[in-house]
Amino acid sequence: MSPRVRTGAALAVLAAMLMVTGCARGIAAGGNGGADGGGELAGRTIEVAGIWTGAEQRAFRTVLDAFERRTGATVRYTSGGDDLPALLNSRLAGGSPPDVALLGQPGVVAQLARRGALAELTGPAAEAVTANYPEFWVEHGSVDGALYGVYYKVADKSVIWYRPEAFAEAGVQRPRTWQELRRVTRALADAGVGTMAVPGADGWVLTDWFENIYLRLAGPERYDQLAAHEIPWTHPTVVESLELLDDYWSADRAIQDNPLQLTFVQAVADVFGPAPKSSMIYEGDFVAAEVNRLGTVAVGEGARFFEWPSIDGSPPAVVVAGDQAVAFNDGAHTMALIAFLASPEAAGIAAAQGGFLSANRNLDRSVYPDPVTRQLADRVMEADVLRFDLSDLTPQAFGGGTDASMWRLLQEFLAGGLEPADLAGRLEVAAQRDFAAAYEMAPPGAGDGR
Q: What is the pLDDT along the chain (450 residues), one digit of tens a residue?
A: 333 223 333 333 333 333 333 333 444 333 345 544 568 899 999 999 999 988 789 999 999 999 999 999 999 999 998 789 889 999 999 999 999 999 999 999 999 999 999 999 999 999 999 999 999 999 999 999 999 999 999 999 999 999 999 999 999 999 999 999 999 999 999 999 999 999 999 999 999 999 999 999 999 999 999 999 999 999 999 999 999 999 999 999 999 999 999 999 999 999 999 999 999 999 999 999 899 889 999 999 999 999 999 999 999 999 999 999 999 999 999 999 999 999 999 999 999 988 899 999 999 999 999 999 999 999 999 999 999 999 999 998 999 878 899 999 999 999 998 999 999 999 999 999 999 998 774 443 333 332
Could you give the CA distance from residue 106 to residue 323 in angstroms, rounded to a whole number?
9
| Contacts of 23 by beta carbon, 8 Å cutoff, 6+ apart | none
DSSP 26-38: SSS--TT-STTS-
Per the CB < 8 A criterion, the answer to whether 49 and 57 are in contact is no
Q: Structural domains in the chain?
A: 8-156+321-387 (3.40.190.10), 159-319 (3.40.190.10)
Per the CB < 8 A criterion, the answer to whether 428 and 398 are in contact is no
Could you give the CA distance from residue 36 to residue 114 in angstroms, rounded to a whole number?
41
Phi, psi of 105 (to 5 degrees): -120, 105
Maximum Cα interatomic distance, the chain, rounded to a whole number of Å: 67
Helix (H) or strand (E) holding 203, with range, is helix 203-218
User: End-to-end distance of the chain based on CA atoms, in angstroms?
Assistant: 33
Could you give the CA distance from residue 70 to residue 72 in angstroms, rounded to a whole number?
6
Could you give the CA distance from residue 306 to residue 291 in angstroms, rounded to a whole number?
16
